[in-house]
Amino acid sequence: MSGDIKELLKRTIGRKVSFRKTVSESDVYGFAGITGDFAPNHIDEEFMKTTSYGRRIAHGALMVGFMSRASSMIVERCPEVCETHFPVSAGYDRVRFVGPVFIGDTITVSYAITDVEETKLRTLASVHVGTPGAETVAVATHIMTWLPLA
């Protein structure tokens, strides 16, 4: 059976998903309330006018939350693996926030399975968050472990 799952996982390489979302005021305030991160760069417009950004920016961790949505979406593209295994996120490596996301920006999150760690039954995926004009604002590598169903 483990040989079968390894072959199924290898066949997922190259599968992709993406989605778009406009980051709203309520997204930022809701996330601040849930996490307790009320830093002025997220909630104080007047303060941010005095910075080089000129306005408030969304939380980087909120972008990781959107990456997580994409990882849930990819599962729908792997039904043959889900017959015998279920996915659990093992985390994100090399997460970088390389540009700001402003309230009102529309982001596109792209997720692509790029590799398999056969011995650990893991898929690795490249995750990219961009704004219109293809400006990169965040990147990461997602690690998904596929656990056998009981």
What 3-state DSSP class applies to 95? Answer: strand
Q: How many H helices and E strands in the chain?
A: 6, 5
Q: Tens digit of pLDDT for each residue in 65-104?
A: 999 999 999 999 999 999 999 999 999 999 999 999 999 9
What is the four-CA torsion angle of 128, 132, 137, 139, rounded to 10 degrees? 0
Structural domains in the chain? 2-148 (3.10.129.10)
What pLDDT, on a 0 to 100 scale, did the predictor assign at position 133? 74
CA–CA distance, 41 with 57 (Å, rounded to integer): 6
- Per 3-state DSSP, what percentage of the chain is helix, strand, and coil (rounded to 5)? 35, 40, 25
What pLDDT, on a 0 to 100 scale, did the predictor assign at position 1? 46
Q: Residues 129, 63: contact at Cβ < 8 Å?
A: yes
Low-confidence stretches of the chain (pLDDT < 50) are 1
